[in-house]
Structure 1
Amino acid sequence: MLPVVDKPLIQYAVEEAVAAGVTELIFVTGRGKRAIEDHFDKSYEIERELQARGKAALLETVQGIKPAHVECIFVRQPEPLGLGHAVLCAQKIIGDEPFAVLLADDLIDADTPVLAQMLERFDHYHCSLVAVEDIERKHSRSYGVVTGRPWDEHVFRMSRIVEKPEPDDAPSTLGVVGRYVLMPGIFDHLRALRPAPREEWQLSDAIQSMLAAEQVLAYRYTGCRFDCGSKLGYLQATVDYALRHPELRDAFGAWLRERAAPVANLAAVDADDAGTAATASIAQTAVVE
Structure 2
Amino acid sequence: MPIKIPQQLPAREILEKENIFIMDEDRAKQQDIRPLNILILNLMPEKEKTETQLLRLLGNTPLQVNVNFLRTATHESKNTSRYHLEQFYKTYADVKDRKFDGMIITGAPIEHLNFEDVNYWEELMTIMKWTTTNVTSTLHICWGAQAALYYHYGIGKFPLPQKCSGVFTHKVFDRKEKLLRGFDDLFFAPHSRYTDVSIDDIHRCQQLKLLSASEEAGPFIIGTKDGKQFMITGHLEYSAETLAEEYQRDQSKGLDINIPVNYFPNDNPKEKPINKWRSHAHLLFSNWLNYYVYQETPYEWD
TM-score (normalised: structure 1): 0.30
Larger RCO, structure (CA 8 Å, separation 6 or more): 1
TM-score (normalised: structure 2): 0.29
Compare CA radii of gyration and give the structure with the larger one.
1
Of Structure 1 and Structure 2, the greater helix share is in 1
